[in-house]
Structure 1
Amino acid sequence: MLGVVAVAAGLWLALGIFVVAGWSRVNTDRAWRAAALLLTLAFALVHQLLFATVAEDAYLTFRYARNVADGYGPVFNPGERVEGYSNFLWMVLIALPRAMFGVDVEPAAPVLGIACALGCVLAAYFLVNRIMRLAQPDGPGLPALGVAAAVVTAGASSLAGYGPSGLETPLFLLLTLCVVHALAAGRPVVAGVLVALTVMTRPEGLVVAVLAGVWLLVTALRSGTTKWAPAGYALGALVLLVPWTAWRVTYYGHLLPNSLVASSGGSVGSMLRRGWDYLAGFALVYQVFLLLTAAAIAFLLSRRSFPRARSLAWLVLAIAVALAGYAVAVGGDRLPSWRLLAPVPPLLTVFAAAAYGLFLVSRPATTPSPQPRTERLTARRTVPVVALAVCGLSLVVSTTHPGMVRAMHDWRASIRQLAETGTWLGERLPPGTVVSTYANGALSYRAGPRLVVVDVLGLTDEHIARQGERIQAAGIGGQVASDYDYVVNVRMPSVAVDTAEGYTDRQHCGINPAYAGLYEVATFRREGERKWISLYVRRPQAEVLVPLLDADPRYTYVRCG
């Protein structure tokens, strides 16, 4: 890790020297801007590799994607139609490399995520410049501000953390930025199609869809655009959302995804308290982004010029605030590095850069030429110094804050152990064996479609999600569904894995009371690591299954007592 940190720090230093020293050239010379963006992308790539952790939750989508590519359809267990994902577009995209070229989903998804995160860096650049072009359609523009926004976006820790995670977070942010860019370009139909794709990527895409639609409607009423723009936007969105929703309801039988239902339904007060705690922790880490936002609001309120460009900047801020509100409403998230709020810092960055640019070009000029305004940007190097400082501070946060790289790497160790457990069970248990799990990610994916996996938290089980009781979840995230009586007596798993942490340092012979009586504890020592794992094996099948599992040289059965 130290080597990657050193490379990231070196790239940041090189980027800083290049951008600060050549700031005036960056604003006027396309080749210098291209070089600055290439350095920024290189830094963003290494920043992501610093985290380099595929999230446990991503493997749940991986299993769906692999089943799609292998011809089983969008199901978790072949033959069971349960919508245990809420990221349809991402699931389809990561299935394509396997379906077309036979590339496994597991390495393909992080590569696509990294590419989307790099795309967000470029999208921040283009969006800021597009907003500035609305203010000065015939002027030279201030493209260096876009470079500054790209630099800060590359430094956003949560975005870097979830680039290689295999989750849909970078794609969601990329689509959100593209929606606003399409609105700025006067392409409402394109914006509608893009916002439909955003909704198909994350449930909170509905927030983006509503805010973008309201912006178009208000702008149309103020005669800032054609009256047909809201209709075109709605048409572009509905042409995808209507057939997709009809298919979902027909195929799965429900409007709301099973995964969303499983994590909802608890106490509203408890969810909001947890959500506020989640937001407060995020605000402490991202204080500098909030300070930039406060200054940008002051800049934007002090000028009334360029109403269309100003309203787009306010739209970006509104989306960021609304996404933060969504995170609070759902009780936050248990994943490290503030996954639900990862889109917020880049959105605040775009808002701050655009607001400062609009403030700059709206100041009274002493001559008719817009050149003095450009000189005010390039003569002082405050903007690049601030951008590089924020980027550098973010890199420090990534490497030192316990909730960032350190938390991701600790998580990676348990994910690896769960993946090894899944491979072991998938290779040794007979096809069709039912396994219940408390961590329905890497274990389930590695176990493969030959095993039937029951998620005791109900993400991929319709009965538990929709009829199970709600219990308090550990940590941030609110309540989860549970119905152990159904799991034990209806699904009747032959093997139960009742941990989300992977291996333990010593033998554990205790049993979850929900499994007591019908199951016995079988403990195995992981050879070469001095680690242990405990399984619950259904008593009538223990005589057959335990020897099958013990036959693997990587695991040795050790009887309790």
Structure 2
Amino acid sequence: MRLGYLSFFFIAVIIFSLGCFYYYPFFSDDSLISLRYVQRFIEGKGLTWNDGQPVEGYSNLLWILGVSVFGKLGMDLILAARVLGILCSLGTLGSILYYFKNQNIKKEYVFLAVILLVTTPCFPVWAVGGLEQPLYGLLLTLILIEVSKIINDKNFNTIYLLSFWLGLLAITRPDGFLFTILTAGFLLACYGKNKHQFIRIGLATAIIPTLFLLGQLAFRYRFYGEIVPNTALVKVKVTMHHVLRGGFYNFKAFSGTLLLSGLGLAALYYLLRKKRLFGYYLLLLTVSWVGYVTLVGGDIFPAFRHYYVVLILFVFSIIWGLNDIRKINLGSGKSSFIFIFILFINGLGQIKISDNVRAIDERWEFRGIKLGETLKKTFPDQTLVAVTAAGSIPYSSELPTVDMLGLNDYYIPRHPPKNFGTGSLAHELGDANYVMSRNPDIIIFHTGGELNFNIGDQLTKNKVFNNNYIKIKAKAEEPEYILFFNKYGKNTGIKKNRDQLIIPGYLFGHSSDNESVFSGNKLVKKIHKGILYKLTIDSLQAGNWKIAESEQKNADLNADIYTKNGQLTIEMTPKNNMFLESLVLERKY
């Protein structure tokens, strides 16, 4: 290959860009959880989810701060997260190429490893997916380069730069501190026999990065009153179920990235056979990370998000391993053809893998964003919404929210069910009695669907939910949403005073249909001629209730209104098709 490093970088960028374009506009719901924190942080409300007691429902502090910088400059937050992800990904490619450009290594080995990386979907998917993996991968790359300088180049001149990268990684994700422990322990074991060197390495790789972590812990305790973030309470429970799930996740990830992972593992094996010290370091990181992911149960997102770390480690093992083998001549014409064929197979073959296909098919977050925007326009800004999809709807609606799965709630993670650790990762928690005690105006499962998860099962048996909440099919242009409205909710329910009731039209229903339509800034009930619609209201004083007026001027209906055992029942049959905004009742004496 006659390409220079700069020319190859641009080729790699083009291939990477094509990958990003192919998986665009994938954007994960958890990314939008982070953006809600960014949103409120920029508005001066701190790193909070709601007003009131703050909780730490994110696990990517440095990423949130980075996106906040772009947001503060006026950039749309979704775009900001994508831009930061792409910049970090390009930084990873550039850092690898720049470092190995000055090494006595055939550039073909470097090019092969880098192209395998950019044609592996995990890399472009998470460049545009909105979470912190690109930043995590960049910092890990910089750490590996600095450790390589120490081990392979015997160069300790930039060891304090290593401490900076380790410190930043520790505040990017809570598990980032794992690399501080491993790196400090490994370098101290290898080079710490000399007292001066021991102090220098210990200061740079252990003490300084630990100060970063302690700084975050101090902030967490002072601001949230906790040492452990909510994310750990919701997601981490070491059980046999989770361990088996995590092991299978790693198996799928290895199989799904077989060319890169297989070559990386083979090269790592060769480095160990040659007793290369850097090979032992890569092995330590790889085994530790895979073990950690196994213990926590793997992951639920497309394109093997948590395997990103292993891919970066295998890139370095391929480069150093092939350099040691030296029997492969990638510069020959035949080898160049094989090289191109392998890369084509790597990129094309992984398009068909189900975990990567999910990144193409998963677009429900945008349905949630649209619903959130509709709710924001339709209801008051203090309307309380309870959700299971804690990203798209809360982010776009900006309404106060109850996260029924507990990630952004203080109470729920601290009161887990007895079978916690035996269900679907991050979707096991829920407390119907607690949710009902919050009296949300609207309850939304997923982005407008039927009840599901553990919390859905609980609500189907909950008396308050069954009595107070009405299932409504609400249309906004094309999408149809299933929403559960609290007929006694402060902002969406019946408004009472002494002698008058204002009843939103969408609360009326009949046995086969309960369809309402978002129209302008209102949700109105679509009612049909000759159909009986009914609503029962609790805790009312007896009286002679009559229809006083209707917001729908051409409303013409027959109504039967009666009170029994403290319940008011309204049965109405329209004489024509209409859209009903509300019905007003007055008590006559």
CA-CA distance at 1:551 after TM superposition: 5.5
Other-structure match for 1:182: 146
Question: Residue 113 of structure 1 contacts residue 166 of structure 1 at CA under 8 Å; is this kept in 2?
Answer: yes
Other-structure match for 2:57: 84
- Deviation digits for residues 231-259 of structure 1, max 9, x if unmatched? 22223313422222211111111111112
Name the SS for the 1:469 alignment partner. Answer: coil
Distance 1:384 1:80, change over 3 A: farther
Partners of 1:188 and 1:91 lie apart in 2 by 27
Other-structure match for 1:516: 465
Pick aligned residue for 1:276 from 218, 237, 247: 247
Other-structure match for 1:411: 362
CA-CA distance at 1:211 after TM superposition: 1.4
Distance 1:60 1:163, change over 3 A: same
For 1:54, the aligned partner's letter is: F
Question: Residue 125 of structure 1 contacts residue 149 of structure 1 at CA under 8 Å; is this kept in 2?
Answer: no
Distance 1:224 1:519, change over 3 A: same
Pick aligned residue for 2:429 from 476, 481, 492: 481
Other-structure match for 1:395: 347
Partners of 1:166 and 1:478 lie apart in 2 by 19
Other-structure match for 2:396: 446
Higher relative contact order (CA 8 A, sep 6+): 1
CA-CA distance at 1:526 after TM superposition: 2.1
Question: Percent identity, aligned pairs only?
Answer: 20
- Deviation digits for residues 84-133 of structure 1, max 9, x if unmatched? 1010000111011122x222212111111122122222233345557xx3
Name the SS for the 1:433 alignment partner. Answer: coil
Distance 1:473 1:418, change over 3 A: farther
Alignment of 1:48-447 (within 5 A): 48-52=20-24, 53-99=26-72, 101-128=73-100, 133=103, 140-185=104-149, 186=156, 187-221=158-192, 226-227=197-198, 228-265=200-237, 268-304=239-275, 310-360=276-326, 377=329, 380=332, 388-404=340-356, 406-412=357-363, 414-447=364-397
Partners of 2:209 and 2:486 lie apart in 1 by 50
Partners of 2:352 and 2:331 lie apart in 1 by 35
- In structure 2, stretches of 5+ residues that fail to align are 150-155, 451-456, 496-502, 507-515, 528-532, 535-589
Q: How much is the aligned-residue C-alpha RMSD, in angstroms?
A: 2.9
**1:552 and 2:519 equivalent?**
yes
For 1:167, the aligned partner's letter is: L
Name the SS for the 2:470 alignment partner. Answer: strand
Partners of 1:519 and 1:221 lie apart in 2 by 67
For 1:109, the aligned partner's letter is: A
CA-CA distance at 1:348 after TM superposition: 1.0
Question: Residue 527 of structure 1 contacts residue 556 of structure 1 at CA under 8 Å; is this kept in 2?
Answer: no
Distance 1:386 1:430, change over 3 A: same
For 2:290, the aligned partner's letter is: A
Question: Residue 471 of structure 1 contacts residue 482 of structure 1 at CA under 8 Å; is this kept in 2?
Answer: no
Question: Residue 415 of structure 1 contacts residue 502 of structure 1 at CA under 8 Å; is this kept in 2?
Answer: no
Other-structure match for 1:3: none
Aligned length: 493
For 1:255, the aligned partner's letter is: I
Name the SS for the 1:423 alignment partner. Answer: helix
Instruction: State the TM-score, normalizing by the size of structure 1.
Output: 0.80
Alignment of 1:6-17 (within 5 A): none
CA-CA distance at 1:264 after TM superposition: 2.6
Structure with more of its chain in strand, by fraction: 2
Name the SS for the 2:28 alignment partner. Answer: coil
Name the SS for the 2:362 alignment partner. Answer: helix
- In structure 1, stretches of 5+ residues that fail to align are 1-22, 27-31, 134-139, 305-309, 364-375, 505-509
CA-CA distance at 1:518 after TM superposition: 4.3
Name the SS for the 1:524 alignment partner. Answer: strand
For 1:534, the aligned partner's letter is: L
Name the SS for the 1:454 alignment partner. Answer: strand
Distance 1:189 1:83, change over 3 A: same
CA-CA distance at 1:342 after TM superposition: 2.3
Partners of 2:196 and 2:336 lie apart in 1 by 34
